[in-house]
Structure 1
Amino acid sequence: MVDTDWKTDLRQRGYRLTPQRQLVLEAVDHLEHATPDDILVEVRRTASAVNISTVYRTLELLEELGLVSHAHLGHGAPTYHLADRHHHLHLVCRDCSDVIEADVGVAAEFTDKLRGAFGFDTDLKHFAIFGRCARCTAKSAGGDPVAGTDPAAGEDPIPASGDES
């Protein structure tokens, strides 16, 4: 969980921390990478009258205010996470659907080339790279996972620096 003062953040931007906004923020914080439907299920544990349109409107506002961010991790709905966590890439395993957070620094050479060749400044917060995680690669090859990692424990070969989760 991230320790933040959402009430102050919203007030500084001219908004109140309504019960619905607080519940959505708490759900996003708790679930980490969650679709609006996942967030709705979590919110309804406390407030059964909240509907999906409230969740979507709240997420849209919270993203405009810089409190949440979304990424597209597949063909379905976007997933949301708190924006005050470190910026990271999403590495999505096509086999097991696991999502690994990697520091954006691992793509520095790539983003530098895009900037140099095209004058294009990238925003990798919404970026997902699809492939196969160490555990699934090892399983498919019949060997051991990448040396120095324990995928079963959630460790990945490219740690996200400043990871607070």
Structure 2
Amino acid sequence: MDSAPEMLRRTLRERGLRMTPQRQLVLDAVTELEHATPEQICQRIQQRTPTVNITTVYRTLDLLEQLGLVRHTHLGHGAPTYSVDAHEHVHLVCHRCGALDEVPCEALAALGEQLHAARGFHLDASHLALSGVCADCSVGDQELP
């Protein structure tokens, strides 16, 4: 299996694009942070290379997503969160405290089958965030009969 730098270099070369240090820095930051907004990615990069700005990060994220190397998910309000493409799971976001949890995509297999049978729709659960209330926040919540 190719490392992130090798995969990026090969993908860029196949598309007739060149490898730049900024592209590598952005992909490295996404890989290291696992889930990160463009601002968090920029902050990580600027710790090593202060001259990289947020505009470069946004442009590079767009390119990396077009190349299929990263993906974004909206985990609530605000900026999207980026992760490497191979990082697949369903995000569970607590809308009270903001906690983030993950479950395997297979957890939504039955729903995917129902949607396909009823609507011909193919669910991509790897690009999905579900909002609800986490176990910690729901302590003390009781439904009335």
Give TM class, smaller chain: 0.7 to 0.9
For residue 46 of structure 1, what is the aligned residue in structure 2? 48
Q: Give the superposition deviation at 1:14.
A: 2.6
For residue 12 of structure 2, what is the aligned residue in structure 1? 10
User: Which of 82, 85, 88 is equivalent to 2:84?
Assistant: 82
Aligned identity (percent) is: 49
Stretches of structure 2 that go unaligned for 5 or more consecutive residues are: none
SS in 2 for 1:62: helix
For residue 109 of structure 2, what is the aligned residue in structure 1? 108
Change in Cα spacing, 1:134 to 1:17, as seen in structure 2 (3 Å) is: farther
CA contact (8 A) 1:71 1:125 kept: no
Looking at structure 2, the residues matched to 63 and 38 of structure 1 have their Cα atoms a distance apart, in angstroms, of 17
SS in 1 for 2:22: helix
Higher helix share: 2
For residue 36 of structure 1, what is the aligned residue in structure 2? 38
The number of residue pairs the alignment matches comes to 138
User: Which of 59, 62, 76 is equivalent to 1:60?
Assistant: 62
Looking at structure 2, the residues matched to 74 and 107 of structure 1 have their Cα atoms a distance apart, in angstroms, of 20
Deviations 1:52-73 (A, max 9, x none): 1111110000000000000000
SS in 2 for 1:141: coil
Change in Cα spacing, 1:67 to 1:132, as seen in structure 2 (3 Å) is: same
Which segments of structure 1 move beyond 6 Å, counting only runs of 4 or more? none
Change in Cα spacing, 1:34 to 1:121, as seen in structure 2 (3 Å) is: same
1:134-145 superposed matches below 5 A? 134-137=135-138, 140-141=139-140
For residue 92 of structure 1, what is the aligned residue in structure 2? 93
RMSD of Structure 2 on Structure 1 (CA): 1.9
Deviations 1:62-91 (A, max 9, x none): 000000000000011100000023x21111
CA contact (8 A) 1:36 1:79 kept: yes
Aligned partner of 1:94: which letter? Answer: H
Deviations 1:129-156 (A, max 9, x none): 011223333xx239xxxxxxxxxxxxxx
Looking at structure 1, the residues matched to 91 and 52 of structure 2 have their Cα atoms a distance apart, in angstroms, of 29
1:132 partnered with 2:133: yes
Looking at structure 2, the residues matched to 96 and 77 of structure 1 have their Cα atoms a distance apart, in angstroms, of 17
